[in-house]
Amino acid sequence: MQVELMEIREHLRRFAPFQALPDSVLDRVVSAVEVAYFKSDTEILTFGADIHDLYFIRSGAVEIYRRNGELYNRLSEGDIFGQLALMMNKRVRFPAKAMEDTLLYCIPDTLFTELFETDEQFADFVEVEDRSRLRQAVSEHKESNELLTSQVKKLINRELVTLPDTASVREAAERMTSERVSSLVIMAEQHERTTEPVMVGIITDRDLRKRVMAQGLSFDTPVAEIMSTDLITVRADQYVFDAMLAMLRFNVHHLPVLDHRRSIGVVGISDIVQYESQNSLFVVRSIFHRQSVAELQELTKDVQGSFVRMVNEDANSRMIGSAMAGIGRTFTQRLLTLAEAELGPPPVPYCLLALGSMARDEQLIVTDQDNALILHDDFDPKQHDDYFKRLAAFVSDGLAACGYSYCTGGIMGTNPKWRQPLSVWQQYFTHWIERPNVESLLHSSIFFDVDGVAGDTNLAASLKDLITTKAPQNPRFLAAMAHNALGRTPPLGFFKDFVMEKDGKHNDSINLKRRGTAPLADLIRVHALASGSRAQNSFQRIEDIVAGGWVTPRIGADLRDAMEFISRVRIRHQKLMLEQGEEPDNNVQPENLSPFERRNLKDAFQILSNAQKFLKFRYHPNRAR
């Protein structure tokens, strides 16, 4: 084969759909290729004209337009165009223009038709829309992980072991020993709602140690006095991932499993381990056993190792984000316990708030700390503020030592503005919602991702009630939030006309958080606030806004796919940096992305761009100025 043809062959082989073609077929394609050159700003295809070739971009960049002249897409090296016209009536449907000097490989329509009819992978690639291709990439990844495909009922391997609430602690210990179980579901034989026994609590081997043995209680103590009654349950048809997330979030080791509201078994932490090989549950358990900040700091490598294992085992972004947020919450909770041990009990009830990605269960390995303190209205600044100032400093410094950097914007409980009684917080949110200002909301929008981590979480629930009541009733507030959500736009010119980051260390890179996941989370939040959704997680918010009719099911699916794929590329980038011993970040170098990632990222960024246009139309952010 001539040198020129070998060069064409090797270049085509780098990109889909040619990389999957057999050698003999690829040789036929190469032999049939004609090379065409177009100067910058010249037309390649005009609407309605005849078309007889599939075009492959060897170098340069091409803009694709709709028939009305609106820009549809931008393509670069390795992309193809013209396939839709060849599959229909061989008339150009999308005009094309060279953005810069461009070299094209032209593949005859007869060979294109033959490949389309005989090669299934080739046909699948060229006939799907961009969003369909992205959805296929996301769904294939999802189906590869058992945590999202195995239901909880698969883990139940024995009948439910119960005990009446009238039994003694001694009887509980004897039953657990004879049945070889680490927990018992406690049932009330008589209940006002039904004549059937009803689950009223659970007792575990840990309860026997901590609540009976350690407290010196009599073995004749009724189990009703030591059982846990604030039950965290999981449905039998939920996924193993949901059970894992509940254990991480609430720090429990046993979950009663319900089938049509009837308890059918208990799932323990050991049952999850066989599926959850990333060990994030073990990291959480280790955190609660550490007795100082220095000991907690030693777990940093374990947290990174958990993250790397989850990525290597194909966990999706929602699983990783939830697990990492669960670990972050646990660090915070343990630090608060250590702080109270050093400072003494709090003078008034309080709640520590997680904000931003931790509140949304979307935290990754690169993150800073965003938190605040809600204090009970009995708080007296002169008497009590010194305690909470020291408490906040202990937690913030501890988190920094464990890898959660200080917030450069000062959104931490150490800032007196964000360490206030509930009544002041209610005034904050009322002012933000009822008298919105674009500039003030730009700095405070993070507070609309809020979750109570520790302390009296009813204080956090009061704020959530206020938000979900007031936000949907204030269109000016929604307009101002929408305006701010449009401030960060995606890199649609990827790679040719995209303005890369220009900040020294990350020069000529793309920040996938700043230009991808963050603006997606911002616009999803606006729809969620408008709908009155109480969800924090972006994927759960999408479910709510689709159910409420704020976006169509198709748009909801597009947003889900875009968020998942951009997050996945960001996660993979951070994992590779950790494996190479480098400090992970959110900035990817274009040359380090595969053709598959570049192609699907462009699809995801296009979805983000379309969603921002819809947001601007729906909420008219200019009215809030």
Nearest to 63 by CA among 87, 40, 86, 83: 40
State the helix-helix crossing angle for 240-250 and 280-289, rounded to 10 degrees.
10
CA distances from 66 to 45, 93, 94, 616, 618 (A): 12, 8, 5, 21, 23
- Predicted TM-score (pTM) of this structure: 0.70
3-state class (DSSP) for residue 625: coil
pLDDT value for 140: 56
Say if CB 464 and CB 498 are below 8 A apart: no
Is 90 exceeded by the pLDDT of residue 445?
no
List the Cα angle 297/301/305 in 5-degree steps: 145
Summarize the confidence of residues 427-445 as an average pLDDT. Answer: 88
| Interval 11-23: pLDDT, tens | 898 888 888 889 8
pLDDT tier for residue 492 given thresholds of 50, 70 and 90: low
Cα separation, 229 vs 224, whole angstroms: 9
Q: What is the dihedral of CA 304, 307, 309, 313, to 10 degrees?
A: -170
Average pLDDT value for the chain? 86
- Per-position DSSP letters for 324-374, written without gaps between them: HHHHHHHHHHHHHHHHHHHH-S-SS-EEEEEETTTTTT---SS-B--EEEE
Beta-carbon count within 10 A of 581 CB: 6
How far from the centroid of its chain's Cα atoms is residue 564's Cα?
7
Q: How far apart are CA 202 and CA 199, in angstroms?
A: 8
Say if residue 84's pLDDT is above 90. no
Q: Is a pLDDT exceeding 60 seen at residue 411?
A: yes
Q: Does the pLDDT at position 625 exceed 80? A: no
Q: Between the CA of residue 282 and those of 21, 243, 254, what are the distances in Å? A: 45, 15, 14
The DSSP call for residue 514 is I
Which of 391, 387, 479 lies closest to 433 in space, CA to CA? 479
What pLDDT was estimated at residue 381?
92
How many angstroms separate the CA atoms of 411 and 399, rounded?
14
d(CA 187, CA 204): 14
Fold of 3-127: Jelly Rolls (2.60.120)
What is the C-alpha separation between 71 and 316, in angstroms, rounded? 32
Please tell me the distance from the alpha carbon of residue 46 to that of residue 95, in angstroms, as a whole number. Answer: 5
For the chain, domain boundaries: 3-127, 151-273, 280-624
Do residues 533 and 272 touch, judged by C-beta distance below 8 A? Answer: no
- Does the structural domain 151-273 have CATH classification 3.10.580.10? yes
For the segment 369-375, the average pLDDT, to the nearest whole number, is 94
Percent of the chain with pLDDT over 70: 90
CA–CA separation, 455 and 553 (whole Å): 38
Question: How does residue 623 score in pLDDT terms, banded at 50, 70 and 90?
Answer: very low
Percent of the chain with pLDDT over 90: 45
- The tens digit of pLDDT for each residue in 466-491 reads 999 999 999 999 999 999 999 888 87
Whether 276 and 239 have beta carbons less than 8 Å apart is answered as: no
Taking the mean position of all CA atoms in its chain, how far away is CA 153?
Answer: 25
Closest CA to 568 of 532, 610, 516, 496: 516
d(CA 453, CA 460): 9
Is the predicted pLDDT of residue 131 greater than 70, yes or no?
Answer: no
pLDDT tens digits, one per residue of 543-588 = 999 998 898 888 898 999 999 999 999 999 999 999 888 899 999 8
Contact indicator for 277, 254 with CB cutoff of 8 Å: no
